[in-house]
Structure 1
Amino acid sequence: MVLQTMFRYRVYNVLEGTDEGGMIGEVLNVFIIALIVANVTAVVLATDASLYQAYQSLFDWFEVVSVAIFTVEYALRLWTAPCNPRFAGPGGRVRFATSPLALIDLVAIMPFYLPMVLPLDLRILRMLRLVRIFRLFKLYRYSEALRMLERVIKAEKEALVVVGFVLLVLLILTSTVMYFVEHTAQPEAFSSIPMAMWWAVATLTTVGYGDVYPVTPLGKLLGGFIAILGIGMFALPAGILASAFGDEIRGRHEKKRICPHCGRCIDDPPAGDEVLTGSAEEGTAVPGAADTSH
């Protein structure tokens, strides 16, 4: 029983890529990341009918091997879930199975097994093949950059919600104004406020597809003003995220410079009493200190 528990903890550390997992954990993480990227590439390339027909057997075998590896990974993570303090105790594996990351792992392999259990038509099978693109989200477990993005969004969620609300209000106002200005001149393009929202979105985001545009003098004047306003408004969330990313990066650098044992900054010079104590314990003289033994 003890050996089984120790082996389970060993497997857990390897899967999580912790320091206890050693080189095996690092190699496994790199392999899984490469396999995820290769799977997403295969899903994208398989949508080309001529390419898929030419290499169908290769695509199919790669899918079988990938699903087998992902299935083993999911089973091992489910088996080692109690090693994580979050999922320790009764019902720990159930809590793990319903966690977001575990659900992503499950969605990554379900499209392969569902046709074996349920009779599905070709349209649903095509949709299930495209669902495999969600394997891309498995990278979150291995990517520090994605975890940093999550922390940044959580830290600035209030500001982002406020900016999003302001942008929504601006979208409704501009659509309403442009509907009343352009409806008479272009009853088909600006037939309603929801239809005018397409123009407002394209203008506020400065995309400007050109399929719908104002033709009246007042509409052109308002359109130019709204386009300029959109540049400034959509720069707000970008500035908020950039500032939050800067704070996160600085926080990581500062955290790295803190000694995990004493909690002091590594760059700080040692205090005088610590130097004397350390020197006395080692039996060495303190540089620059006067010899008072005579």
Structure 2
Amino acid sequence: MADRNSLRAKINRFRAKVFNMVSTGVIDEPINRFYDWISIIALLLNLAAVFAITFDYMEEHYKGLLLAIEAVTTFFFAVDYVLRVFSANELYPKLSPGKSSIRYALSLAGIIDLLSFLPYYLPVFFPGGATVFRLFRIARILRLFRINSYYDQLNVITEIIVSKSQQLLASVFIIFILMLASSLCMYSVEHDAQPDVFQNAFSGIWWSASTLLTVGYGDIYPVTIMGKILGIIISFLGVGMVAIPTGIISAGFVEQYQKLKTVGDFAEEENIHFIRIRLSQKDSWTGKKIVDIGIPKDVMIVAIQRGNETIIPRGQTVLENGDILVMCAEKIKDISPIDLKEITINEGHSWNGVAIKDLDISRQSYIFMIRRKGKALVPKGNIVIKAGDIVLLYGKHKYI
């Protein structure tokens, strides 16, 4: 029984490492950064090979190389998919390993990852459908959205589109109705003059789409006076219809900026203090749910920075190694202030080479952290302070 539990624990640790490796933007270890770079390079090489082989010159001179690049990178996509299915339990910790794998496979990201490599191998079993399977190569382009995780600006755009999805869908629906109405109207006035062009009510869909969304294509156009008048009116309506989604997205940017400004103003008015804490593997909070860590009621975790992803915390959110916690607390006015000081130790400082227990400091002053070469050390009595250390003290009196 003990051996089984030990094996299960090793599998869980390995699964967590695999999940961190395949998760975009988790760069706490060199292998994770290396995997991110390999993923991006493989995707760009694959897309470059797919596009390049469509040129006659490239196909004639470099067909073998381009096909080899596509084969190797597509195999990488297949391995990446298997690793993501294996580590899906870390993405859905409330589900069993089997159910979490199915949940990922049926998700939009899982379907895109599957279509990134599966159509490449299907012609081996179904040669007749090779042409159709090649159409699914567009799924590889959708993998480019993973690069979105590296840039906050792109994340903002994604958040705006998601938050305004209902309004955008409504505007698209209005455009669709206008296309049908304009097609029917144009058929009514142009059918007798151009029976071969406007054969039925739906034959004007191409004309209405090109007129509403652009400035017209030229292959279908009205020739009657009434048709031309309708064309002018529909063109004006098309300009307004195309402007609706643009206005919605622009308003989303303004709202997003206003939210950030409001949070900043609120922090100043209410005198709220924010701090950032990075969790390590040894911290007691790592691996626990927020509801179980027992933080004071006046302190709140407002955001979790995990790699390049910002997570809005909830009680059931599990804290992970490398997470940066953004915490806030309101200043309590009736408590006497505590003075903080940061002391840089140089070669000639009296504390250089002295153990903490031998320092002569006030009893109301305490050393709560030592920074040494970018690392934070918990102060213990036998730690010897060295040149270059930064000593952080707090107490009820100001330091000289």
- Shorter-normalised TM-score: what interval? 0.7 to 0.9
Q: 1:278 aligns with which of 328, 338, 353?
A: 338
Structure 1: give runs of 5+ residues left out of the alignment. Answer: 287-294
Q: Report the counterpart of residue 37 of structure 2 in structure 1.
A: 30
Following superposition, the deviation at residue 48 of structure 1 comes to: 2.4
1:78–1:93 Cα contact (<8 Å) kept? yes
Could you tell me whether the CA contact under 8 Å between 2:27 and 2:33 is conserved in 1?
no
Q: Which residue pairs with 2:15 in the alignment? A: 8
* 1:80 corresponding residue in structure 2: 87
State the AA in 1 paired with 2:333: D
Deviation string, structure 1 residues 204-262 (Cα, Å, up to 9, x no partner): 11331111222222222221121112101211011112222443466578789964674
Number of aligned residue pairs: give it. 282
Counterpart check, 1:134 vs 2:194: no
- Greater fraction of residues in helix: 1
Give yes or no for contact 1:108–1:132 (8 Å, CA) kept in 2.
Answer: yes
- Give me the whole-angstrom Cα distance separating, in 1, the residues matched to 2:147 and 2:49: 20
Residue of structure 1 equivalent to 2:220: 212
CA shift at 1:272, angstroms?
7.0
- 1:105-124 deviation digits (Å, cap 9, x = unpaired): 111111232233x1413xx3
Identity of aligned residues (%): 29
Matched, 1:155 2:150: no
Q: 1:275 to 1:15 in 2, by over 3 A?
A: farther
Shift of 1:271: 4.2
**Aligned-pair distance for 1:18?**
5.4
Cα distance in 2 for partners of 1:73, 1:155 equals: 30
Q: Please tell me the residue identity of whatever aligns with 2:232.
A: G
Name the SS of the counterpart of 1:194 in structure 2. Answer: helix
101-110 or 143-152: bigger deviation: 143-152
Q: Give TM-score scaled by structure 2 length.
A: 0.61
Counterpart code for 2:115 = V
In the TM superposition, what are the counterparts of 1:83-162 in structure 2 within 5 Å? 83-86=90-93, 88-90=95-97, 91-116=99-124, 118-121=125-128, 124-144=129-149, 148-162=156-170
> Is the counterpart of residue 54 in structure 1 residue 61 in structure 2?
yes
The equivalences for 1:186-265 within 5 A come to 186-248=194-256, 251=259, 259=275, 262-263=299-300
Q: Which residue of 1 aligns with 2:320?
A: none
Aligned to 1:291: none
Q: CA contact under 8 A between 2:89 and 2:101: conserved in structure 1?
A: yes
Amino acid at match of 1:89: S
Q: Distance in 2 between matches of 1:78 and 1:264?
A: 31
CA–CA distance in structure 2, aligned partners of residues 230 and 52 of structure 1: 42
**RMSD of aligned Cα (Å):** 3.3
Residue 175 of structure 2, aligned match among 167, 180, 187 = 167
Per the alignment, do residues 60 and 264 of structure 1 end up closer, same or farther by CA in structure 2, a change over 3 Å counting?
A: closer
Cα distance between partner residues in 1 of 2:184 and 2:51? 40
Q: Distance in 1 between matches of 2:334 and 2:79?
A: 53
Distance 1:55 1:203 in 2: 42
Distance in 2, matches of 1:171 and 1:263, equals 51
CA distance in 1, matches of 2:144, 2:227: 47
After superposition, give the CA deviation of every residue in 1:55-80 in whole Å (9 maximum; x if it has no partner): 12202221222123222212221221
Deviation track 1:94-114 (CA, whole Å, cap 9, x = no partner) reads 222222212211111112322
The answer on whether the counterparts of 2:186 and 2:227 sit within 8 Å (CA) in structure 1 is: yes
Q: Out of 147-156 and 252-261, give the one that drifted further.
A: 252-261
Task: Give the whole-Å Cα distance in 1 for the aligned partners of 2:398 and 2:215.
Answer: 71
Residue 180 of structure 2 aligns to a residue in which SS?
helix
**One-letter identity of the residue aligned with 1:283:** K
Identify the structure with the greater strand proportion: 2
| Partner amino acid, structure 2, of 1:178 | M
Cα distance between partner residues in 2 of 1:45 and 1:22: 35
